[in-house]
Amino acid sequence: MRVWAVAVFMVACASASAPDWTMKPSPVVVGLAPPNPAVSLTPPGEVSGQFFIGADEAWKLLAVDVQNGPAALPVPPFLRRPGTYLWGAFRFCARENGSLSTVTMLRSADRLVDADWMSAVRRWRFNPLQRDGARRAFCSDIPVGAKVEWDNVRPPGVDPAARSLDQ
């Protein structure tokens, strides 16, 4: 009797509208992460012979699309659960022409994305920094975050148009 009841339950569950696991992953928004005390960022100014600028200024100088393409921070489909937020911090130095000379990870986002994020950040290019009428090489510590947006399922009270990473 129990076996028959379990079999009927399993057939009923299988025929019910099951979630569609083949849906495309939820979109990811990449942006400058809010400051976090877990990572000490180098303040703007001259530090050990290198000129550091703030993360906000560096973000404005970005010359690549970090939302799409090879410079985007990838999030694998199995981590793309709506509401997931990953953030990491990188230190980079850019040459006078805006290409990167060095990239160092200051804080891991997640071991499942670290290698891909390092590869993406190495592809970043910047508009040249102008100081006193001349191009200048610069460094910056930049916290970046990737937030998986609510795509198909939105809990009550969540505004689908909200795109801020610090919510």
CATH of the domain at 133: 3.30.1150
> Is residue 134 included in any domain, yes or no?
yes
pLDDT number for residue 142 = 93
Domain residue limits at 66: 28-148
Q: Tens digit of pLDDT for each residue in 40-73?
A: 889 999 998 899 999 999 999 999 988 888 888 8
Name residue, tokens 């160092």: 104
> Is residue 163 included in any domain, yes or no?
no
Task: Give the mean pLDDT of the chain.
Answer: 79
Domain count, the chain: 1
Using CA atoms, how far residue 47 sits from 27, 69, 112, in Å, is: 38, 33, 32
DSSP state of 72: S
Q: Which two tokens stand for residue 122?
A: 């190495």
> Is residue 131 included in any domain, yes or no?
yes
Q: What is the pTM of this model?
A: 0.72
